[in-house]
Structure 1
Amino acid sequence: MIRNLAPAILALAGLAAATPVSAQADFRSCLSGLRSQAAAKGISGQAFDVATRGIAPDMQILELMDNQPEFKTPIWDYLAALVDDERVQDGKAAMRQWGQALASAEARFGVDRHVIAGVWGVESNFGKDIGGRPLVQSLSTLACYAPRRREYFTGELMATLKIVQDGDIDPANLRGSWAGAFGHTQFMPSTFQRLAVDGDGDGHRDIMTSVPDAVHSTANFLKKAGWENGLPWGYEVRLPASFSANLAGRKNKRPLASWAAMGVTRIDGRPLSGDYAAGIIVPAGVDGPAFIVTKNFDAVYSYNAAESYGLAIALLGDRMKGLPGIRTAWPTDDPPLSRAQRRELQHLLTSRGYDVGEPDGKIGQKTREAIKDVERRIGLEPRGRPGGKVLEALRG
């Protein structure tokens, strides 16, 4: 079923005028080839034509593809922005509001509701930052121009067109990240096809507008990824001085008793206990925080294939349970900033005449350029990093 496509098409039609004629012709040629592939996947020509009519490539996506924060940002900065007091409080409020949906997802799939909420918080800030890029446009651009993984993005485009054809989600609502992830918990279209479930009983799978559908679908994902009910994801540990970094690694699992025999303890000094295998990860090296991680951490990791991402979800879930945050200091003399501190930094930059746009705590190019100027003035390497030294200099 094809429904309510007009708003999405009108929003995109104006983009074609901003694209050079040669690029438009190249894009249309690529779309023609994709149309044939779609037909082979059972997607009607009508569905394809209506979904792609008037769109132009979004070339900014290729730049975003090379600047993914999970791999470009120091781990302490990444976690400081995602697991701060503000997000913890917002998360507790969201869990109270949607407690029944989270409880039923936990009961149905055997996945800790706090971890489900952790995914929700990291992926979309509990539905506040779902993303606004039209999926068909983003994935068509990547299928035609991505320097790598074109086949993957082509498959995601086909899955998106199938969602449109099946009528699960209003196509006008199919907006998300540059890479095509969408909804409260940011499923890729192919993941949606495989694992999305109806959580509110209305007969549809709509992770864009239904929180119950989103949290049940996420619980299903984690269960299928190997989550074991009753097993912790892990916890912070203290390493002995003799610990070799060669022993670390998410995949280098061994019985807890083996780690205990080496002198590894919980961060508070208590001995390790439990009859399961685990690895140890040291995201900033052995001089920084260390964590025991189990197969449940692997399940969370599989959501986005980045250890920093997996830690953000796990630690946010712990904080929403009321557990403390990381206790070991990061190996840096320039402390990371929370989102509230980043907003303060942006306000201070604005008061000094820098144009950084709206002080929203999100560090975009304007803010980075302003920070670089401040870093030069205070004798730091101009990297554009929102750190404690820059904030203190601005306060002074």
Structure 2
Amino acid sequence: MTRTGNRLTRTAAIALLGAVLLPGAASAQSPFDVLNFFTGSPPDKSAAPAAPRRAAVTAQQEPVAALPGSNAAPAWSGEDGASGHPLMTAQAIREAAANFDNCVAAFWPDAARRGISRESFERFTANLSPDLRLMDLMDSQPEFTKAIWDYLDILVNDNRLARGREILAQYKPQFDAAERAYGVDRYIIASIWGIESNYSTQMGDRYVLNSTATLACVGRRQAYFKDEFLTALEILHRGDLRPEQLRGSWAGAFGPTQFMPTAFKRFAVDADGDGRRDVVDNPADLIASTANNLKKDGWQSGQTWGYEVVMPQGFNYMMADRKQMLTLAQWEQMGVRRPNGLGFPRGNEKAYLLAPAGSEGPGFLMLNNFRTIMKYNPAEAYALAIGHFADRLRGGAPFVQPWPRHERVLSRSERLELQQLLAQRGFYRGTPDGQFGSMTREALRNFQASIGAPADGFATGDMLEKLRGR
């Protein structure tokens, strides 16, 4: 997924039953939309299950804007958005929808400044209509979430790995060329392709221009999506992609590796020199563009993303923080080791410790390239899945340490209660909302430390019970 904003979620296209929750992160409606809640970033690609792409529509068919998507069902709930934003009330949404045509027409001067012709503007916007279902998707707050281990089980599975190895063999010349040009590991690119769209089988079916126009005129992210909408118009006017190719998630991400329009504008390349940057149906352009994206985001050639590690008994989990960047040699001095007696190839590399299941599960030391993956989608769960999937594609083994699968992930109402209880005891100073961020994690750590428990910030049913009983 390519982020919306600083590249926002990368979100995606696989229909999963819930969302994933890490310590310090809030719930999301899809494992691919985790970035919105893990980081508070703008919405990403897709949160709704994606439908298979429909039969191609020729560019001559009119009206272009009326390309059928998955917008017909389900319909908008007609309810206020869960965010409480004034532009997400049902009344505000209806009023904005009623003004939709005027809103789109008012974008013409900005489009002209981008070099879009009047003919292109009129043609591509002729029959756009507001897809208000997007309001529900933007503000969705599901009651239940998915644990990190369930998330990884779904994304890193034998079928997807087998298909990934086939893709690597089928497009070996294109991967070879991209590695030479950009120095980005082919297994990471293949991993993004597999996790974002299940190798082009689940890319989303909403017409990107219609989705971004809706979000540019209705709801709480209008300024952000105006840029995405105008950029999508640029793509069509330039001819890089045809309208029928510009299908994707509810938030406008498209193609096998889920580019947002603005990310396409910054990173897409014409690898085969045919005059078009086709990241949807041209493997050479797709692979090279994804590699260019990672390279420009800071990918360091010849280095991995991170290592699974084991923490020593009595380890201070307050050190499991993104701000605690130490060299691998320093982590070793603190007793942090790789499983099975493996060492760190370069002890001078800096990393931070991630403990997604607290003291009960595996830990991970994250290097610079992990942060680069997070620029593609700023969710640690997503980046961990990408890195692990890449390692498995190259022949690596599953994680060695078990996850605490006995732990039940808290529901949203329980998360809200946990925050309220932490606030009552003076540990939490935010506004309880059922979404776990850094403030909640810090508050929980301080509470855990006060009762002599490992201060790992891992919200469990046991921690909730302890809060209830004090």
TM-score, shorter chain, exceeding 0.5? yes
Mapping for residues 13-28 of structure 1, pairs under 5 Å: 25-28=98-101
Other-structure match for 1:9: 65
Correspondence 1:237 to 2:309: yes
**Secondary structure of residue in 1 paired with 2:251:** coil
Provide the residue aligned with 1:330 in structure 2: 403
Matched, 1:284 2:357: yes
Counterpart of 1:257 in structure 2 is 329
Matches of 1:294 and 1:85, distance apart in 2: 26
The 1:282–1:199 alpha-carbon spacing in structure 2 relative to 1, beyond 3 Å, is same
Moved over 6 A (4+): 13-16, 18-23
Q: 1:24 Cα deviation (Å)? A: 5.3
Q: 1:248 and 1:15, CA in 2 relative to 1: closer, same or farther beyond 3 A?
A: closer
Q: Are positions 1:202 and 2:274 aligned together?
A: yes
Matching of residues 55-70 of structure 1 within 5 Å: 55-67=128-140
Alignment match of 1:228 (pick from 292, 300, 318): 300
The reply on whether 1:85 has 2:158 as its aligned counterpart is yes
Residues 189-219 of structure 1 show CA distances to partners (whole Å, capped at 9, x for unaligned) of 1111111011233221100111111110010
**1:250, distance to aligned residue in structure 2 (A):** 3.5
Rounded Cα–Cα distance in structure 2 between residues aligned with 1:296 and 1:173: 31
Question: Could you give the per-residue CA deviations for residues 276-306 of structure 1, whole angstroms, max 9, x where no partner exists?
Answer: 1111111222321211111111111110111
Instruction: Rate the CA distance shift 1:288–1:15 in 2: closer, same or farther, 3 A.
Output: closer
Structure 1 contact 13–55 (Cα < 8 Å) conserved: no
Alignment-derived partner of residue 98 in structure 1:
171
Q: Are the equivalent residues in 2 in contact too, given 1:95–1:102 (CA < 8 A)?
A: yes
CA separation of 1:221 and 1:164: change in aligned 2, threshold 3 A: same
Give the conservation status (yes or no) of the 8 Å contact 1:7–1:172. no
Aligned residue in 2 for 1:361? none
Residue matched to 2:147: 74
Instruction: Name the stretch that deviates more: 18-27 or 74-83.
Output: 18-27
Query: Of 144, 169, 182, which aligns to 2:254?
Result: 182
Higher RCO (CA < 8 A, seq sep 6+): 2
Residue 303, structure 1, aligned to residue 359, structure 2: no
d(CA) in 2 for partners of 1:136, 1:299: 28
Change (3 A) 1:43 1:286: farther
For 1:119, the equivalent position in structure 2 comes to 192
Query: Any idea what SS the aligned residue of 2:353 has?
Result: strand
Cα 1:12/1:152, change in 2 over 3 Å: same
Note if contact 2:63-2:123 (Cα within 8 Å) is conserved in structure 1: no
TM-score by length of 2: 0.66
Give 1:22 deviation, angstroms.
7.0
Question: How far off its partner does 1:273 sit?
Answer: 3.9
Gaps of 5+ in 2: 1-57, 79-93, 410-470
2:256–2:279 CA contact under 8 A, matched in 1:
yes
Q: How far 1:38 moved relative to its partner? A: 2.2
Q: 1:199 to 1:261 in 2, by over 3 A?
A: same
Structure 2 CA distance for aligned equivalents of residues 307 and 68 of structure 1: 19
Structure with higher helix content: 1
Secondary structure at the aligned position of 2:288 is classed as: helix
Which ranges in structure 1 are unaligned for 5 or more consecutive residues?
337-396
For 2:218, the aligned partner's letter is Y
Q: Tell me, what secondary structure is at the counterpart of 1:54?
A: coil
> How far is the alpha carbon of 1:32 from its aligned partner?
2.2
Question: What's the CA shift for 1:152?
Answer: 1.2
Q: Equivalent residue of 1:235, what SS?
A: strand
Say which is worse superposed, 170-179 or 56-65, in terms of deviation: 56-65
CA contact (8 A) 2:66 2:128 kept: no
> 1:46 offset after TM fit, Å?
2.3
CA contact (8 A) 1:163 1:169 kept: yes
Structure 2 counterpart of 1:348:
none
Partner of 1:142: 215
Name the counterpart of 1:170: 242
Deviation of the 1:101 alpha carbon: 0.9
Q: Structure 1 residues 15 and 127 mapped into 2: Cα distance closer, same or farther (>3 Å)?
A: closer
Q: Deviations over 1:290-342 (max 9, x none)?
A: 11111111111110111111111111111111101222222231799xxxxxx
1:215–1:259 Cα change, 3 Å: same
Task: Report SS of the residue matched to 2:370.
Answer: helix
Distance in 2 between the 1:24 and 1:12 partners? Answer: 19
Following superposition, the deviation at residue 184 of structure 1 comes to: 1.4
Q: Identify if the C-alpha distance between structure 1 residues 77 and 34 changes in structure 2 by more than 3 Å, giving closer, same or farther.
A: farther
What do residues 41-76 of structure 1 show as CA deviations (whole Å, max 9, x unaligned)? Answer: 33233222211211211112222223499x953222
Per-residue CA deviation, residues 330-370 of structure 1 (Å, 9 max, x unaligned), is 2231799xxxxxxxxxxxxxxxxxxxxxxxxxxxxxxxxxx
Distance 2:182 2:328 in 1: 26
